[in-house]
Amino acid sequence: MAHANAHAVKRYSGIMDWLTTVDHKKIGILYLIAGGFFFLVGGLEAILIRVQLWAPQNDFVGADTYNELLTMHGTTMIFLAAMPLLFALMNAVVPLQIGARDVAFPFVNSLGFWTFLFGGVLLNISWLTGHVPDAGWTSYAPLAGTTYSTTHGVDYYVLGLQIAGIGTLVGGINFLVTIINMRAPGMTFMRMPLFTWTAFITSALILFAFPALTVGLAALMFDRLFEGNFFDPAAGGNAVLWEHIFWIFGHPEVYILILPAFGIISEVVSTFSRKRLFGYSSMVFATILIGFLGFMVWAHHMFTTGLGPVANALFSIATMLIAVPTGIKIFNWLFTMWGGSIKFTAANLFAVGFIPTFVMGGVTGVMLAAAPADFQYHDSYFVVAHFHYVIVGGLVLGIFAGLHYWWPKMFGRVLSESLGKWTFWTFFIGFHLTFFVQHFLGLMGMPRRIWQYLDGLGFNEMNMISTVGAFLMGLGTIFFLINVVVTSVKPKNAANDPWEDGRTLEWTIPSPPPEYNFAQTPLVRGYDAYWKEKMDGHKGMTPAEPIGPIHMPSPSILPFFMGVGLFIAGFGFMYSPDWGDVGFMKTGHLVGAIGLLITLGCMLLRSMIDDHGFHIEEEEILKDQGGKA
Amino acid sequence: MMKRWQIVKRLAPLTAFLVLVLAACGREDLSTLNPQGPVAEEQFGLMKLAITIMSIVVIVVFAISLYVIVRFRRRPGDKTIPKQVEGSHKLEIIWTVIPIILLIILGVPTVQSVFNLSKDYSKDPEAVKVIVTAHQYWWEFEYPELGIKTAQELVIPTGKTIAIQAKTADVLHSFWIPSLAGKIDTNPGGNINHMYFSAPKEGVYLGKCAELCGPSHGLMDFKVKAVNPDSFDRWSAAITEPVALPSDPAIAQAFESKCLVCHAVGEYGGPAFPNLTGIASRESVGGILVNVEEGEKQYKHEDTLYNNLYKWIKDPEAVKPGNGMSNQYDLTEEELKGITEYLSSLTLDFE
């Protein structure tokens, strides 16, 4: 029996535990810490941008530094803050919501985190070496090519994102497989909580969108590091090709980000209204439709590229269509609250604040979809206002809602409600102050990504308001950090269902859950599984199996070293023109090869060593249950 | 039914007010909300339609949100369980169909306008053709029919259609005159874009680069100067007339060896960088140092023509970081003043 071999319990403690963990809950926390850190970095960059723009012809930072700041702000926020924070919540919650003991591939999950982290660190080390990406988060060629960008700046962008992108892609695949295969008995697709649904669709979008980015970055890498000419028009390349590749990835990316936020809002609004989500099946359908249409609209980022009237007309209409499923969602949320009993916890404040804010971002999206009018809006502050309404007013408010909501499940401690409300009001008011006026700045003729604006153009007052708002958002973030610190010293005493109105499976198990999540896999008897049991007068879920030994995956340090290897390789290839030769090859290439060997060696070890995992025995589970009671 | 129409009636003054507020927004020579030509007018029309529809959507959502938030708050100690509603087909159909209708109202004029604005006037004998070439931080304007190549200031006759062919000499830029017409990108590699616009009224309109193109992207301004057709003819004649070099031989020597390597005046010099013929008649130096009369300096970027030229030639890097003129030459104070003096005299008499 394999059972006997796999019996030895492999567990580490302290720092080794975090480096080797394959537990989705711990990986969720790692994503949260790393994503939170990068959120602060990106936020600091944003504040510096706003300080530079607070007065006309300001000289707070130089023109070069300004372009570095705007590039790194965008890149960091999208790839290193927003995505990982969503992955944090998906890791922490999705397996619990479907009644699973972990994700399908725990090792790959850990690998996804470490490659993301090392990619992100590589990108941000550029600040220390002084060669910072400065061609915008879109890195349009030829500005991002070697002719016009002669430092290593864009190299950091290309390699950092490529490595971080591996993490996102494997993470997405992992969630797809997990949601398809690991649902508890009775958890049919149409009984899945909406957050799980959105995580599922987002993972599908990742699966199709990220390879486009990978290909684009690989081509740009060849241009920059190995004298390729994909995007160099002087050598027969095509700069517009990069725009297409980037946006074929870039537009679905927007939906990759926003869909999980939709899921969070659906959960939070429903829980705190004590009501079933209104129009569940049309919500699911709308999510799928948004995901599908998300791939059909990339060229609306390129109306001014000169694709011609037929393309512009088609992409205009396709883009407008997305408003329909999005509208369905908005009204379903409103009617979930309608007739409910709404409790305004901090989490719900964020969720309720999200709805009108997101609508404002959505309607400007439809306005932008009208190509002839977009000739005026495009690359102006109107666009800046629009996408911040969608990403900050949508996604970030959603993440805050989710963090306040699931914090007790992740850490066993409920965040302070009053500090949470301070966070909400300062952040929410600051957000609208910052970005509402930017619509008008754009319409009045202020282009985006400009280092200075001239005096006397009527831009001064609104820019000042915008800067004040940015500081207020910073203050909101500080309140949240204080909340985290204050809460972390409180006793770990959150109940299984701290909100008392929990509807889904994650609220049936202890906060935080034991390593194995569910001592007994639950039997799901309907949508809102836990709520159904409550309404039927049951205290908890009906188990689908007797208590018995639970098979667990072994922790592993290999994913960490695979990340390290790619990190080293990135450096080597990047600096090969500078580091001279060693013997017959370039020093940089040797370093790069060593890095790749570390990664490949880890893969080899993983394939060679047969690891059966270990079992948690019945006694331990019973002891856990007794201890918690 | 009655009630619904009353709502529309009530909204009408609101949207009218909205449009008024918007129209009052921003400078006449810069704002998209204050269009000065038919193309910007058409785009503004579409914007107004979109803003009106979207304001209605926003108001409806805000109203429902506010009602729900106030009406359905949980009272302290309330333990009742609200009715669990699965959904409503009728409502679902309503909020699917109404948005579709709104989108049709917006979509039809959008498509019409897309085709209308994509007309190519580059073969139209009535139109004034201009080849716009963007360079890192300056704009080149070539009038192929008139044999004129100038920079930074696009002089156009009022009332005529201007047919633009846009291209770039280096990276992507975007050609934008907010008060006259929306933007078009300048693509590298022979990938030429077309657009058109016209200005019925005389005046100077501000143009901007709208695509990140390097450190001085935000400073890559230009002007469009609309003059009456007679003035335009005088301008096109004046700019093609020969230009004398500086009279002082020492200054002339410095000017030829240091400036004309890249720049041109009259038939002297090279075409790679901004043509300086008539530079003293332009509104600004380097696109952003605006020339004003002595004593009228109001802002940091304004000064007299002489001072602006002096400032620019002495240290272009301080004005536009990363521009191609930085650190390309050494001039003694004498030469600098002489050249500035000379350039200040290069006027064109046409207005």
User: What CATH number corresponds to the domain at position B82?
Assistant: 1.10.287.90
Average pLDDT, chain B: 91
Shortest Cα distance from A95 to chain B (angstroms)?
25
Last residue of a domain, one of B206, B237, B268: B237
Per-residue pLDDT at B337 exceeds 80: yes
pLDDT at B13: 65
The structure tokens listed for B106 are: 């917006």
pLDDT at A208: 96
pLDDT at A620: 87
pLDDT at A627: 54
Same domain, B176 and B212: yes
Last residue of a domain, one of B187, B214, B237: B237
The partner residues of B150 in beta bridges, in order of sequence, read B141
Q: What is the arithmetic mean of pLDDT over A384-390?
A: 97
Shortest Cα distance from B205 to chain A (angstroms)?
11
Is B209 in Cβ contact with A341 (below 8 Å)? no
As a whole-number percent, the residues of chain B with pLDDT over 70 amount to: 93
Residue B117: closest CA among chain A residues belongs to which residue?
A: A372
Integer-rounded Cα radius of gyration of chain A: 25
The structure tokens listed for A13 are: 């403690």
pLDDT at B271: 82
SS3 A38: helix
Per-residue pLDDT at A15 exceeds 60: yes
The shortest CB-CB distance from B46 to any of A275, A370, A455 is to A370
The total number of structural domains in chain B stands at 3
Is A458 in Cβ contact with B92 (below 8 Å)? no
pLDDT at A478: 97
The shortest CB-CB distance from B187 to any of A306, A363, A447 is to A306
Pairing of strands B162-168, B193-197: antiparallel
Integer-rounded Cα radius of gyration of chain B: 27
**Domain presence at residue B96:** yes
Nearest Cα to Cα of residue A31 among A168, A160, A154, A161: A168
Query: Given strand B193-197, what is the order of strands in its sheet?
Result: B148-151, B138-143, B128-135, B162-168, B193-197
Q: How many C-beta atoms lie closer than 10 Å to residue B192's C-beta?
A: 16
Question: How do residues A332-379 score in pLDDT, each as one tens digit?
Answer: 999 999 999 999 999 999 999 999 999 999 999 999 999 999 999 999
Is B69 in Cβ contact with A352 (below 8 Å)? yes
Per-residue pLDDT at A153 exceeds 70: yes
Q: Which carries the bigger pLDDT value, residue B145 or residue B191? A: B145
Residue type for position A96? L
Same domain, B258 and B326: yes
Please tell me the distance from the alpha carbon of residue A267 to that of residue A248, in angstroms, as a whole number: 30
The shortest CB-CB distance from A375 to any of B33, B87, B183 is to B183
pLDDT at A585: 87
Same domain, B99 and B202: no
As a whole-number percent, the residues of chain A with pLDDT over 90 amount to: 90
Contacts of B117 in chain A (CB under 8 A): 372, 375
Same domain, B155 and B260: no
**Domain presence at residue B113:** yes
Q: What is the arithmetic mean of pLDDT over A556-578?
A: 94
pLDDT at B2: 47
Phi and psi for A561 in degrees, rounded to 5?
Answer: -70, -30
Question: Quick one: pLDDT band at residue A5, thresholds 50, 70, 90?
Answer: very low
Is A239 in Cβ contact with B187 (below 8 Å)? yes
DSSP string, A374-390: HHHHTTBHHHHHHHHHH
Contacts of A327 in chain B (CB under 8 A): 57, 95-96, 99
Per-residue pLDDT at B67 exceeds 80: yes
Q: What is the arithmetic mean of pLDDT over A178-198?
A: 96
Is B100 in Cβ contact with A342 (below 8 Å)? no
**Domain presence at residue B300:** yes
Dihedral sign, Cα of residue A287, residue A293, residue A298, residue A300: negative
pLDDT at B7: 55
CB pairs under 8 A between A and B: 308
Shortest Cα distance from B185 to chain A (angstroms)?
5
SS (H, E, C) A537-599: CCCCCEECCCCCCEEECCCCCHHHHHHHHHHHHHHHHHHCCCCCEECCEEHHHHHHHHHHHHH
SS3 A301: helix
Question: How do residues A426-444 score in pLDDT, each as one tens digit?
Answer: 999 999 999 999 999 999 9
Question: How do residues A24-81 score in pLDDT, each as one tens digit?
Answer: 999 999 999 999 999 999 999 999 999 999 999 999 999 999 999 999 999 999 999 9
Domain boundary assignment for chain A = 26-556+611-628
Q: What is the ipTM of this complex?
A: 0.92
Please tell me the distance from the alpha carbon of residue A206 to that of residue A198, in angstroms, as a whole number: 12
CA A420 vs CA A416, B243, B252: distances in Å: 6, 72, 72
Mutate to test the interface with A, among B171, B179, B290 (most CBs of A within 10 A): B171
**Domain presence at residue B122:** no
CB–CB of B265/B338 below 8 Å?
no
Question: How do residues A293-337 score in pLDDT, each as one tens digit?
Answer: 999 999 999 999 999 999 999 999 999 999 999 999 999 999 999
Nearest Cα to Cα of residue A112 among A202, A184, A211, A24: A24
Parent domain of B64: 2-117
Question: Quick one: pLDDT band at residue B253, thresholds 50, 70, 90?
Answer: very high
Contacts of A149 in chain B (CB under 8 A): none
**Domain presence at residue B27:** yes
User: What CATH number corresponds to the domain at position B300?
Assistant: 2.60.40.420
Question: How do residues A441-460 score in pLDDT, each as one tens digit?
Answer: 999 999 999 999 999 999 99
The shortest CB-CB distance from A308 to any of B118, B189, B214 is to B118
Contacts of B113 in chain A (CB under 8 A): 370-372
pTM of the model: 0.94
pLDDT at A628: 47
**Domain presence at residue B49:** yes
Is A280 in Cβ contact with B87 (below 8 Å)? yes
Question: Quick one: pLDDT band at residue A625, thresholds 50, 70, 90?
Answer: confident
Question: Quick one: pLDDT band at residue B1, thresholds 50, 70, 90?
Answer: very low
Contacts of B26 in chain A (CB under 8 A): 440, 443-445, 458
SS (H, E, C) B160-193: CCEEEEEEECCCCEEEEECCCEEEEEECCCCCCE
pLDDT at B191: 86
Average pLDDT, chain A: 94
pLDDT at B17: 67
Residue B186: closest CA among chain A residues belongs to which residue?
A: A305
Same domain, B231 and B296: no
**Domain spanning A26-556+611-628: CATH superfamily:** Cytochrome c oxidase-like, subunit I domain (1.20.210.10)
The partner residues of B128 in beta bridges, in order of sequence, read B162
**Domain presence at residue B198:** yes
Please tell me the distance from the alpha carbon of residue B300 to that of residue B225, in angstroms, as a whole number: 23
Residue B193: closest CA among chain A residues belongs to which residue?
A: A306
Q: What is the arithmetic mean of pLDDT over A616-620?
A: 89
CB–CB of A475/A430 below 8 Å?
yes
Pairing of strands B289-291, B302-303: parallel
CB–CB of A190/A527 below 8 Å?
yes
The partner residues of A420 in beta bridges, in order of sequence, read none
Question: Quick one: pLDDT band at residue A3, thresholds 50, 70, 90?
Answer: very low
Per-residue pLDDT at B8 exceeds 60: no
∠ at Cα A309 (A307, A315), nearest 5°?
75
Q: How many C-beta atoms lie closer than 10 Å to residue A189's C-beta?
A: 12
Q: What is the arithmetic mean of pLDDT over B287-291?
A: 93
Continuous H helices in A412-553: 417-443, 460-488, 529-535
